[in-house]
Structure 1
Amino acid sequence: MMLYFVLSLILFLCMMILCLLGMFMYMTEKVFFLEWSMFSINSMELIYLILLDWLSLSFMVVVLFISSLVIFYSKSYMLLDLNKNRFILMVFLFVLSMIFMIISPNLFSILLGWDGLGLVSFCLVIYFQNVKSNNSGLLTILSNRLGDGILLLLLAWMLNLSSLNFYLFYFKMVDMSILKLMGILLILVSITKSAQIPFSAWLPAAMAAPTPVSALVHSSTLVTAGVYLLIRFYNLLFISDSLKYLLLLGIVTMFMSGISALFEFDMKKIIALSTLSQLGLMISTLGLSLVSLSMFHLMTHAFFKALLFLCAGSMIHSFYNFQDIRYLGGAMKYMPITFSCFMVSNLSLMGMFFMSGFYSKDLILEMMSMKFMNLFIYVIFYICILLTLLYSIRLMFMSFFNYSNFFILMEFHDEDKFMGLGMFGLMLMSIFSGSILKWMLNYTIKFIYLKKVMKFMVIYFLILGLIFSFLLIVNYNYFKNLLFFFFCNNYMWFLSLITVFSMNYYILNLGKNVIKILDMGWSEYLIKLNILMNFNISMNFFLKFQKNLIKIFLLIFILLIFFIYLMF
């Protein structure tokens, strides 16, 4: 167990050093390019590029801080697990892959971290080695491999620009059709990793992984990698006029995940769908050209989402591994520390005043209100914020305020100091990170001119959300009786069925049939074994010649002499 503590401490110290370096680089407006010439053979030279600017360093600080606390928390959470050393090394590889991706300005080196994230996430999802984990892991890896394939296509197209480095583009000199195609490819790469529609099915399925892994995946590593890549390649998206596709994808994903979370009963899946909703918000914010606000929300969201998962893990421990919120309830008086952390993270997710989520969400909504856009998009934005409020209140009510719905002889307890300290560190950041980032990185907009009704729209929707959540909790059985409506939303608009059965099931079934026909069918006997048999016969024939070599040579010699005698 010492390994957990040592790794946690190393990551925390690295975070402190990078934090100071990031502040220095932000104040002095410096960017460092580091080149490491790995090897040189004749005229070919392989150079590994590292980019250090305030953006990459600030995101690395967030990743390392959350990782250190999650590993510290895992010390207690994985205490009784038989393979805890394997677990911690895989988590460390996961964080390392993310850091490789963050510091790479080059698509070739980004591929190293990108593939590492996909592979290690597969290993972590199938960690518990049962049928459900196996199915979830396959869905995760196949969805991510699709994105990896498109990334290789993008890599090939970037050779047209004579550089794989996205800092050295000369956009003005390139044909617009090439840029348009590259912009669409980049969006496809990012939405597979960030689980936007139609690739959303793998994100709730990845909940089969241990809870500390879910906290890392959903806060600062796997799913945020796609958003970070879009932020880095923002110039390409802007010039190729691809931002409108991002706006559409983000809004549809936000709406779908918000409604689906209202009809879900698995606690971890509700939190996963809330991540999907927030990712949709970040991507639609990018679609509105608000790139700095998207990064701001990415960093604030990481803290309260990691805390939400750690609180869920604490509750799962207390409720004897139950995740169904129908079996929870009344835990407030038994688990006060977990309850207070859960409340802080949930209020921050809802955008409650002066929590970290409020600073980024409020700015996004006000800047969105100032844009020239369709009324439909404006209304859907606010409806998605309302849905966030609804599923958060429902989760809080069912877990803590509802009447006790659990089994007898439950042993409720707040967790030990390791889990408590991990949650407490993230709770502080869930409260203060929004204001700290706003003041330090100067995310301040001086003049926002809006009508009174638009300025108070957030307040109106907060009040509306409270009324709707009360009606939803009271009349929930009525919604359950609308069977198609209920199942459509419970299965994410049947996305999980469509993607699994159309994309994965039929492809895997095709592979099975190919093996059945080729390797185990008549073709094996007619082609492969037939050739092998004829080859063996001919080889045996020639082998007989080889065994009687001297006798045959003498015979040939005598026949040759006899033939010459006859001829002459």
Structure 2
Amino acid sequence: MKMNNSICYISFFFLMMFSMVNFIFMMYLIMNNEVMFLEWELVSFNSVSIVMSILIDWMSLLFMMFVSLISSVVIYYSKSYMSSENNLMRFIILVLMFVFSMILLIISPNMISIFLGWDGLGLVSYCLVIYYQNFKSYNAGMLTALSNRIGDVLILMVVAWMLNYGSWNFIYYMELMNNDFTMTVVSVLIIMAAMTKSAQIPFSSWLPAAMAAPTPVSALVHSSTLVTAGVYLLIRFNLLLMNTFFIKILLLLSCLTMFMAGISANYEFDLKKIIALSTLSQLGLMMSILSMGFPDLAFFHLLTHAMFKALLFMCAGVIIHMMNDIQDIRFMGGISLYIPMTSLCLSISNLALCGIPFLAGFYSKDMILEMVSMSSLNMLIFFFYYISTGLTMFYTIRLLMYLLIGDYNLLSIYNLYDEDMIMLKSMYVLLFMSVVSGSFLSWMIFYYPYMIYLPFNLKMMVIYVSLLGMLLGYMVSNMNFYSVNKFLKSYSLSNFLCLMWFLPNLSTYGLNYMFLKMSMNLIKNIDMGWSEFYSGLGMFNVLKKYSIIYNFYQINNFKIYLYSFVLWMLMNMIVLMMMMY
């Protein structure tokens, strides 16, 4: 136990110090407008040299600072959350491997080292999703691993296509070879790879399934590591992507993802899945603004979102622990009376997610929506952005109504205990960042102001849709509005919307159904058919039937002896009578 505690503290201290160093170094680079490109020669043999390249600029350092800060806090939180776990050491090592893979991806200007980090994220995420080792975890882990494997193959194809240039340092070719056919193919492959990792339609079904992982892992995965890897890759390749037609398709798909996730979250009752679908919605927002040509805004939202989403998952972890491992929000209610500090953290992180003014999410979301309003886009994309913003408010108010305001629905004799101090301390760090990070990043990243000029109604559009979403969220979670609930919960509508527009059926079960059915028929008709009947199973059945008969004789022996004696006597009498006549 002491060993487990010490590895938690060492990991927490190391990652926190690493975060501080990154911050200081990043401030130096951003003030002097410098970029560092390091090359380390691993092997040199005749004319062949294998070189490890590292790109250090303000963006990679800032992202590394956020990743290491969140992971340090998550490890400290795990000390209490996973305290009853026998293999805590294994868990911490897996989390550290996960963070290391993400850092390798962040600092790489080279396709080979990007692939190592990318693949490392996929493999370690599989190990973390199946951590609890039950059937649900295994299914979710397989779905996660196979969905991410598509992205790994696409990155491998990028590596193969870049052999045409003689080096994998993509950073050299992005402006120089912008209109080259090879670079166009590379950019399409990169977009598709990022779509798998960041769970855009049609690869969305793995993200809610990955909730089978422990809650601290969910906090890490859904804030700053696995799902943001695709967005970060597209930010790095942004110069190359803007000239391709495929980026317009990405804009449509990411807006659809944002809309679909927002609707599905309103029909979900699993606490962790609601938060996972909100992550999916925000990823759609990042991807869509990125495909419109604003990589700095996407990066800004990525960082602010990381803070309040990690906090949201940590609050969910405390609530699930307290509720005897129940995740269904219909059993919760009125918990603000019993765990006030966790409820405070939950409320602030939820409000930051909605973009309530002067919290972290407001600065990034408001700027994104105003840039969308100012861009000359069609009505459909405009509609998707604003409706999705309203839906965010909708499911957030619904969640808060079910958790904090409604009646307590668990056992009446259940003992609600107060919060754990270790968990609370780790949540306070992220609470502070959820309030402060938006303004701090906006002053630091955008040192020249964006000039956004809009008419009054467009400027107020965000407030209009937010208030409408708030009203609908209240109506849906309050049973007094029975007619509204009846319409929204009608079976066919809720079935379609709750199942993420049947995406899991199409992209998961739909693809493997025929193969599984064929293998089932083979097992039934051949392995369990005639070959089984005339060999193992046939012999087994014959022996089983005989053993039942022998057993019957042995158990009922006295009765059977008496019965057989009577029968024998009768037979004798019948034979004697026949002889006499």
**What TM-score do the two structures reach when normalised by structure 1?**
0.88
Corresponding position of 1:339: 343
Matches within 5 A, 1:190-339: 190-339=194-343
- What is the SS of the residue equivalent to 1:198? coil
What displacement does 1:163 show?
Answer: 2.5
Corresponding position of 1:497: 505
**Alignment-mate amino acid for residue 312 of structure 2:** L
What displacement does 1:41 show?
Answer: 3.0
- What is the SS of the residue equivalent to 1:414? coil
What displacement does 1:449 show?
Answer: 1.1
Corresponding position of 1:356: 360
CA–CA separation in structure 1 for the residues paired with 2:518 and 2:89: 38
Change (3 A) 1:481 1:30: closer
- What is the SS of the residue equivalent to 2:414? coil
Moved more, 19-28 or 452-461: 452-461
Unaligned runs of 5+ in 2: 531-581
Change (3 A) 1:178 1:446: closer
CA–CA separation in structure 2 for the residues paired with 1:518 and 1:114: 42
CA–CA separation in structure 1 for the residues paired with 2:148 and 2:166: 27
Matched, 1:384 2:388: yes
- What is the SS of the residue equivalent to 2:336? coil
Corresponding position of 1:420: 424
Matched, 1:41 2:45: yes
CA–CA separation in structure 1 for the residues paired with 2:517 and 2:33: 55
Does the Cα contact within 8 Å between 1:437 and 1:443 map onto a contact in 2?
no
Matched, 1:366 2:370: yes
**Alignment-mate amino acid for residue 223 of structure 1:** V
Moved more, 385-394 or 80-89: 80-89
What displacement does 1:96 show?
Answer: 0.6
Matched, 1:456 2:476: no
**Alignment-mate amino acid for residue 132 of structure 1:** K
Matched, 1:112 2:77: no
Corresponding position of 1:88: 92
1:307-333 CA distances to partner (integer Å, 9 max, x unpaired)?
A: 000000000010000000011111010
CA–CA separation in structure 1 for the residues paired with 2:307 and 2:413: 34
Does the Cα contact within 8 Å between 1:338 and 1:414 map onto a contact in 2?
no
CA–CA separation in structure 1 for the residues paired with 2:525 and 2:410: 52
Corresponding position of 1:52: 56
CA–CA separation in structure 2 for the residues paired with 1:426 and 1:61: 13
Does the Cα contact within 8 Å between 2:174 and 2:237 map onto a contact in 1?
no
What displacement does 1:506 show?
Answer: 4.4
CA–CA separation in structure 1 for the residues paired with 2:268 and 2:328: 9
- What is the SS of the residue equivalent to 1:200? coil
Matched, 1:441 2:445: yes
Matched, 1:144 2:148: yes
CA–CA separation in structure 1 for the residues paired with 2:129 and 2:53: 31
CA–CA separation in structure 2 for the residues paired with 1:164 and 1:510: 43
Corresponding position of 1:410: 414
CA–CA separation in structure 1 for the residues paired with 2:134 and 2:415: 27
- What is the SS of the residue equivalent to 2:44? strand
1:254-303 CA distances to partner (integer Å, 9 max, x unpaired)?
A: 00000000000000000000000000000000011111100000000000
**What TM-score do the two structures reach when normalised by structure 2?**
0.86
Corresponding position of 1:67: 71
Corresponding position of 1:122: 126
Percent sequence identity is 51
- What is the SS of the residue equivalent to 1:222? coil
Does the Cα contact within 8 Å between 2:262 and 2:391 map onto a contact in 1?
yes
Does the Cα contact within 8 Å between 2:175 and 2:239 map onto a contact in 1?
no
CA–CA separation in structure 1 for the residues paired with 2:222 and 2:327: 18
Does the Cα contact within 8 Å between 2:401 and 2:474 map onto a contact in 1?
no
What displacement does 1:464 show?
Answer: 1.4
1:205-257 CA distances to partner (integer Å, 9 max, x unpaired)?
A: 00000000000000000000000000001111013343212211110000000
Does the Cα contact within 8 Å between 1:163 and 1:169 map onto a contact in 2?
no
CA–CA separation in structure 2 for the residues paired with 1:508 and 1:44: 48
Corresponding position of 2:476: 472
Change (3 A) 1:233 1:173: closer
What displacement does 1:463 show?
Answer: 1.9
Unaligned runs of 5+ in 1: 523-568
- What is the SS of the residue equivalent to 2:39? strand
Does the Cα contact within 8 Å between 2:43 and 2:49 map onto a contact in 1?
yes
Does the Cα contact within 8 Å between 1:389 and 1:465 map onto a contact in 2?
yes
What displacement does 1:413 show?
Answer: 2.5
Matched, 1:186 2:190: yes
Corresponding position of 1:101: 105
1:383-433 CA distances to partner (integer Å, 9 max, x unpaired)?
A: 000000000110111011011111133222332211000111000000000
Corresponding position of 1:31: 35
**Alignment-mate amino acid for residue 227 of structure 1:** V
**Alignment-mate amino acid for residue 11 of structure 2:** L
What displacement does 1:512 show?
Answer: 8.3
2:495 to 471, 487, 503: 487
1:97-152 CA distances to partner (integer Å, 9 max, x unpaired)?
A: 10011011101110111111000000000000000000000000000001101111
1:480-525 CA distances to partner (integer Å, 9 max, x unpaired)?
A: 6521110111110111111111334545667889999999999xxx
- Give RMSD over aligned pairs: 2.1
Does the Cα contact within 8 Å between 1:70 and 1:215 map onto a contact in 2?
yes
What displacement does 1:343 show?
Answer: 0.5
**Alignment-mate amino acid for residue 284 of structure 1:** S
Does the Cα contact within 8 Å between 1:257 and 1:273 map onto a contact in 2?
yes
- What is the SS of the residue equivalent to 1:493? helix
CA–CA separation in structure 2 for the residues paired with 1:340 and 1:170: 46
Corresponding position of 1:529: none
Change (3 A) 1:170 1:195: closer
- What is the SS of the residue equivalent to 1:167? helix
Matched, 1:18 2:19: no
1:323-356 CA distances to partner (integer Å, 9 max, x unpaired)?
A: 0001111101000010000011000000001000
**Alignment-mate amino acid for residue 507 of structure 2:** T
What displacement does 1:180 show?
Answer: 2.8
